């Protein structure tokens, strides 16, 4: 995707500069446009601008993946109970610090056969500004906690906030991870209305969708209850990110 964006941007700028005789304001406009594209590429993981990420499954059948970020938390056992009751396997992208806080829950995720991915050690709010070495440290430290707590290794990685850039791309490559994104984002961490979250997810579903949720609140648990009813009614099966 990024190659097409670069080509289109290059052609656009050349035509624009030629048409307006390359004045200062034209060059400034092109610079600002380029900056906007880079920012867009950094925050939209689906573009694959810096990192090629798994965002959906190519399939002809009605199946979706339930993925949960930022756990384990105090709410995760309820999510696990619900998934177990419905005989559904999900994918959990876990934070190293949270694993240290809830080791038994992390072990339960493993024992119940769910797929697990690395979501960095601290999920820093400064993720987009960290150096390559610091990002590698974040990923490897989480790997170490997973190995120590659950004797578990994973090659799956989900960038915090879905943010990617050259440093993060290098860190993913050097740690041998596969980046996993989504194509249905619930926005459950910033939306308070449970019904609004549910409608957003249900409306966005397609065959092979990867759904981004968080096992961090009672609110999302309630959304999941309704979502599982919807999936059963609409005859959707589920898959995990393997």
Q: Please list the active-site residues.
A: 69, 214
* E strand map for the chain: 63-71, 91-94, 115-118, 156-157, 178-179, 184-185, 210-214, 237-238
- Quote the CA–CA distance of 90 and 35 in Å, as a whole number: 37
Q: Assess whether the previous peptide bond of 72 is cis (omega < 30° from 0).
A: yes
Distance (Å, whole) CA 23 – CA 97: 52
Q: Compute and round to an integer the Cα radius of gyration of the chain.
A: 20
Tokens matching residue 213: 């949720």
The token duo for 76 is 């995760």
What is the C-alpha separation between 86 and 184, in angstroms, rounded? 21
Q: Which two tokens stand for residue 91?
A: 């994918």
Cα dist from 16 to 10, 12, 22, 36, 192, whole Å:
10, 6, 8, 17, 44
Phi/psi region, residue 87 (left: phi>0; alpha: psi -120 to 50; beta: rest), is: left
Which two structure tokens, joined as six digits, stand for 206?
Answer: 């397609």
220 contacts 71 by C-beta, under 8 angstroms: no
């Amino acid at each position: 995707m990024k190659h097409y964006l670069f080509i289109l941007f290059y052609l656009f700028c050349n035509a624009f500069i030629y048409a307006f005789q390359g004045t200062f304001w034209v060059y400034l406009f092109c610079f600002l446009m380029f900056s906007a594209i880079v920012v867009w590429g950094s925050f939209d993981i689906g573009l694959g601008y810096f990192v090629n990420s798994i965002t959906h499954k190519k399939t002809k059948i009605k199946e979706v993946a339930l993925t949960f970020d930022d756990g384990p938390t105090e709410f995760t056992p309820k999510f696990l109970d619900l998934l177990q009751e419905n005989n559904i396997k999900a994918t959990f992208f876990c934070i190293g610090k949270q694993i240290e806080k809830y080791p038994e829950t992390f072990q339960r995720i493993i024992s119940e056969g769910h797929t697990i991915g690395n979501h960095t050690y601290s999920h820093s709010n400064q993720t987009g500004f960290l150096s390559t070495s610091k990002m590698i440290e974040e990923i490897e430290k989480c790997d170490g906690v997973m190995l120590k707590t659950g004797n578990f290794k994973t090659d799956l990685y989900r960038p915090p906030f879905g943010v990617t850039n050259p440093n993060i791309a290098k860190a993913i490559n050097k740690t041998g991870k596969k980046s996993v994104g989504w194509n249905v984002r619930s926005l459950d961490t910033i939306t308070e209305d449970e019904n609004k979250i549910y409608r957003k997810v249900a409306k966005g579903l397609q065959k092979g969708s990867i759904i981004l949720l968080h096992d961090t609140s009672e609110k999302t648990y309630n959304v999941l209850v309704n979502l599982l009813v919807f999936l059963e009614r609409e005859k959707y099966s589920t898959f995990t990110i393997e």
